[in-house]
Amino acid sequence: MGDRTHAHTGAAGRAATADRPSSVRNVVLVGHSGSGKTTLVEALAQTAGAVNRAGRVEDGATVSDYDEIEHRQQRSVQLSLVPVEWGGYRINLLDTPGYADFVGELRAGLRAADAALFVVSAAQEADAVAGTTRAVWEECAAVGMPRAIVVTHLDTARTSFDEMTRICGEIFGGDDPDAVLPLYLPVHGPEGADGHAPLTGLTGLLTERVFDYSSGERQENPPREDRRTALREARDRLIEGIIAESEDETLMDRYLGGAEVEVGTLVDDLERAVARGTFHPVLAAAPAAAGARQGIGTVELLDLVTRGFPTPLERPLPGVTPLHGASLPELSCDPDGPLVAEVVKTASDPYVGRVSLVRVFSGTLRSDETVHVFGRGLTDHGRESRPFHETEVRVGALSSPFGKQQRPLTACIAGDLACVAKLGSAETGDTLSGTDRPLLMDPWAAPDPLLPLAVEAHSKADEDKLSQGLSRLVAEDPTMRLEQNQDTHQVVLWCLGEAHQDVALDRLRNRYGVQVDAVPHKVSLRETFAAPSTGRGRHVKQSGGHGQYAICEIDVEPLPAGSGIEFVDKVVGGAVPRQFVPSVEKGVRAQAARGVAAGHPLVDVRVTLRDGKSHSVDSSDAAFQTAGALALREAAAETRIQLLEPVAEIQVLVPDDYVGPVMSDLSGRRGRVVGTEQSGPGRTLVRAEVPELEIGRYAVDLRSLSHGAGRFDRAYARHEAMPPQLAERLGEQRENNPNDA
């Protein structure tokens, strides 16, 4: 698997076109922000001959040149595909953002891949590796996805491959740390002035050969004598780990009996264990030095991918449901089977418009054919994130991406990925199938966006483009949710974090040409009467001709929470004619919706109409509506109005180590912890009720508090009375800033 010497020829400046699923490898790179995933992808592309020694393709762009926003913000914010050729295989490298705000891109990459490379930096703290990467490791483990680990930044001072391997064994190995073992040991050169020895090569544990990169070319040498003891100890542990995963039950007995196990047998068993997802090799890698043709460990990694990772034929297809009474065919990764594909990413290109990255699971996708598009969206908690939608569209041109280039393809077979131009209104997560047999693939769950961003058009000209820009933004990113709040009259874009918000604003302004302003997010407050009161509404006007005459008297009393507005008619003797009683009620309800003190809707009161006066000529429906509204306002002026704030039920899932800080933080937010329970090994679910005013930024604060390991869910519970001192402070703020009311 790299311990064997092979002659490999990459395809300079191009990627192989897959002609059969067995020649494809789909690999997603996962890791914490700053772990070096994109640098590693470029190093692999250089070794495979897809880019030159400067990391450039023919037009001078790099493989990571895809979205200008990534250059402006100096971080990866979206999934990108880099296809390379190695030894006759097409390897689709799916580079994912490492920042937690873009976990939706990571989920898409996991859906499109058949194996994962977890990239960890030897220069990062163990908490960073555990906090942000363990959850993804568990997701992969739940579906049996094969995984390997790549340690980067070993050329940084005070780093240790052995220490990082030990940490990975503890974090990822769980009950079986011997399932996470190195295949190679790093070789370091002479110490520099900073006391650190640079990485110069790798020693293969199975063949006990050194692969030396110090000359700029990969050369094979025997190990130094002073390294043989450490090499033998690591080799023995690796062999025992491989044999423990072997399907040959006699192999362990032979090994313990002192028999020498052939290297070829060990490599074959290793490859099978990696493909099954039961053994996770650890490798080291570093980008190529100046003038070098290959990065350290890149040949070994490419060998691992082509020989140890499974083909699309070996991975089960996601669940599929037939539509409109169609029968469900037997599906497999067969280019001649029924078409089933999925849009794993949607992006907008300034020159060709919308571009969709598609993974074909069954059949063959060809340009100019008509396909059925069906989509729906679900969150982690089973809630619908976007409604069902379906249509039929003609497939545009197919291409294979590389940086900013799009290289034409004639077709995309089962197991492969391709970009499709102008796929109509297809959104991320939509299923593509044949028009004669429409199918729906089970959607991958997207995390709930829980950080609100209220936006307003910067000018009148931007108002016309805002709706379209927001709709396109949400169609591309299923982890964003658009809300038109009827209570606060705000347009709210729900995101996963501050970096996610920054990207949304950047795309609106620079991609869609919509200048927007971020404004403070408002929660939906309510008002109610703190005590019974009475009011008299008098609307009498005379200005020539028919006048306006209506008088009504009402009693208002508070009701239990959740009662809404109750209207009671107790007029006797026709003081208010029967035809105008509904008018009074209409006026009362209209005023209640506008609020009676701070401009928030009035709820949970009973309004009783007990008396009034009318005029045979001047009374009208409009007059009594106005009188009803005036009566309610007068009643409100005679008593104290209580502000009600929304309270959310939240569930916080955190590692046990963070339960105390989380509960203390919730108490500081006026929260009430209602219970805790174990939720899997080492994790606790904390249930609490917290005012929504206190959790506007909780998505950001929880991430900081739990080092990225915590997540939460929220749901509206009820409105409760706000503490008087807080209500007074809000009133003062409203007086000082009337535009924010």
- The pLDDT, as a whole number, for residue 15 is 44
Q: Name the helix (H) or strand (E) containing 493.
A: strand 491-495
Strands 683-691 and 672-678: antiparallel
Residue 241 reports pLDDT greater than 60: yes
Q: Find the helix packing angle between 698-705 and 659-668, rounded to 10°.
A: 150
* Domain match, 186 and 60 both: yes
Give the tens place of pLDDT for each residue, 146-174: 999 999 988 777 788 998 999 899 888 87
* Domain match, 185 and 297 both: yes
Of the candidates 555, 583, 560, which has an alpha carbon nearest to the alpha carbon of residue 570? Answer: 555
* Domain match, 194 and 137 both: yes
Give dist(CA 724, CA 731) in Å, integer.
10
* Backbone phi and psi for residue 32, each to the nearest 5 degrees, phi listed first: -65, 150
Contact 21, 95 (CB under 8 A): no
- The pLDDT, as a whole number, for residue 227 is 82
- The pLDDT, as a whole number, for residue 193 is 67
- The pLDDT, as a whole number, for residue 308 is 92
Give the tens place of pLDDT for each residue, 349-386: 666 678 899 999 999 999 999 999 998 766 666 566 66
- Where are any strands of DSSP class E within 656-694? 672-678, 683-691
Residue 2 reports pLDDT greater than 50: no
- List the structure tokens of 341: 């594909």
- The pLDDT, as a whole number, for residue 352 is 67
Give the tens place of pLDDT for each residue, 639-653: 999 999 999 999 999
Residue 431 reports pLDDT greater than 90: yes
Q: How many residues does the chain have?
A: 741
Confidence bin at 716 (pLDDT 50/70/90)? very high
Contact 450, 712 (CB under 8 A): yes
Any idea what DSSP says for residue 286? Answer: B
* Domain match, 308 and 336 both: no
More confident residue, 423 or 21: 21
Confidence bin at 101 (pLDDT 50/70/90)? confident
Residue 291 reports pLDDT greater than 90: no
Give dist(CA 554, CA 635) in Å, integer.
8
* Domain match, 165 and 94 both: yes
- The pLDDT, as a whole number, for residue 72 is 52
Our count of domains for the chain comes to: 5
Cα 725 to Cα 642, 721, 741: the distances in Å are: 12, 12, 18
Confidence bin at 132 (pLDDT 50/70/90)? low
- List the structure tokens of 604: 């949970």
Confidence bin at 329 (pLDDT 50/70/90)? confident
Residue 68 reports pLDDT greater than 80: no
Q: What angle (nearest 5°) sits at the alpha carbon of residue 575, between those of residues 574 and 579? A: 60
Q: Is residue 400 part of a domain?
A: yes
Single-letter amino acid, residue 44:
L
* Domain match, 472 and 614 both: no
Around Cβ 532, how many Cβ atoms within 10 Å?
14
Residue 62 reports pLDDT greater than 70: no
Of the candidates 268, 296, 294, 186, which has an alpha carbon nearest to the alpha carbon of residue 1? Answer: 268
Confidence bin at 58 (pLDDT 50/70/90)? very low
Residue 739 reports pLDDT greater than 80: no
509: Cα separation from own chain's centroid: 22
Give dist(CA 727, CA 729) in Å, integer.
5
- The pLDDT, as a whole number, for residue 349 is 67
* Domain match, 52 and 81 both: yes
Residue 484 reports pLDDT greater than 50: yes
Give the tens place of pLDDT for each residue, 112-130: 999 999 999 988 766 656 5
Which of 52-61, 90-99, 673-682 is least confident?
52-61
SS3 542: coil
Ranges 118-127, 543-552, 683-692, most confident: 683-692
* Domain match, 310 and 365 both: no
- Residue 544: which domain range? 526-639
Q: What is the mean pLDDT of residues 415-427?
A: 89
167: Cα separation from own chain's centroid: 26
Of the candidates 54, 46, 47, 42, which has an alpha carbon nearest to the alpha carbon of residue 80? Answer: 42
Q: What is the CATH number of the domain that holds 678?
A: 3.30.70.240
Q: What is the mean pLDDT of residues 421-428?
A: 85
* Domain match, 112 and 191 both: yes
* Backbone phi and psi for residue 120, each to the nearest 5 degrees, phi listed first: -125, 145
* Domain match, 197 and 300 both: yes
Cα 37 to Cα 56, 94, 121: the distances in Å are: 17, 10, 10
Strands 353-362 and 199-204: unpaired
Confidence bin at 12 (pLDDT 50/70/90)? very low
Contact 200, 212 (CB under 8 A): yes
Q: What is the CATH number of the domain that holds 363?
A: 2.40.30.10
468: Cα separation from own chain's centroid: 22
Q: What angle (nearest 5°) sits at the alpha carbon of residue 494, between those of residues 492 and 496? A: 155
Q: Is residue 266 part of a domain?
A: no
- The pLDDT, as a whole number, for residue 3 is 44
Give dist(CA 727, CA 168) in Å, integer.
51
Around Cβ 392, how many Cβ atoms within 10 Å?
12
Residue 231 reports pLDDT greater than 80: yes
Of the candidates 191, 268, 205, which has an alpha carbon nearest to the alpha carbon of residue 237? Answer: 205
Q: Is residue 234 part of a domain?
A: no
- The pLDDT, as a whole number, for residue 547 is 85
* Backbone phi and psi for residue 504, each to the nearest 5 degrees, phi listed first: -60, -45
List the strands of the sheet with 548-558, edge to edge: 533-541, 548-558, 605-613, 565-569
Q: What is the mean pLDDT of residues 546-552?
A: 91
Q: What is the mean pLDDT of residues 89-109?
A: 91
- List the structure tokens of 301: 């990694």
Q: Is residue 229 part of a domain?
A: no
Q: What angle (nearest 5°) sits at the alpha carbon of residue 312, between those of residues 311 and 315? A: 100
- The pLDDT, as a whole number, for residue 617 is 86
- The pLDDT, as a whole number, for residue 257 is 84
Q: What angle (nearest 5°) sits at the alpha carbon of residue 102, between those of residues 98 and 106? A: 70
Confidence bin at 65 (pLDDT 50/70/90)? very low
Last residue of a domain, one of 463, 484, 519: 519
* Domain match, 692 and 711 both: yes
Q: What angle (nearest 5°) sits at the alpha carbon of residue 15, between those of residues 12 and 20? A: 140
State the chain's mean pLDDT as an integer. 87
* Domain match, 306 and 345 both: no
Single-letter amino acid, residue 719:
H
DSSP letter string, 117-167 = EEEEETTS-HHHHHHHHHHHHHHHHHTT--EEEEEE-TTSTT--HHHHHHH
Residue 6 reports pLDDT greater than 50: no
From its phi and psi, is residue 249 left (phi > 0), alpha (psi between -120 and 50) or beta?
alpha
Residue 406 reports pLDDT greater than 80: no
More confident residue, 207 or 587: 587
Any idea what DSSP says for residue 55? Answer: S
Q: What is the CATH number of the domain that holds 110?
A: 3.40.50.300
Only one residue has tokens 């650190």, namely: 196
Confidence bin at 734 (pLDDT 50/70/90)? confident
Give dist(CA 188, CA 292) in Å, integer.
17
Q: Is residue 256 part of a domain?
A: no
Of the candidates 48, 128, 59, which has an alpha carbon nearest to the alpha carbon of residue 88? Answer: 48
Residue 196 reports pLDDT greater than 80: no
Confidence bin at 247 (pLDDT 50/70/90)? confident
Q: Is residue 338 part of a domain?
A: yes
Contact 568, 607 (CB under 8 A): yes
Q: Is residue 235 part of a domain?
A: no
Last residue of a domain, one of 286, 314, 342: 314
Confidence bin at 198 (pLDDT 50/70/90)? confident
Residue 177 reports pLDDT greater than 90: no
Confidence bin at 556 (pLDDT 50/70/90)? very high
Q: What are the b/e assignments for 202-232, b being 16+ CB within 10 Å?
A: bbbbbbbbbbbbeeeebeeeebeeeeeeebe
Q: What is the CATH number of the domain that holds 534?
A: 3.30.230.10
Last residue of a domain, one of 639, 668, 699: 639
Contact 544, 586 (CB under 8 A): no
Q: Is residue 515 part of a domain?
A: yes
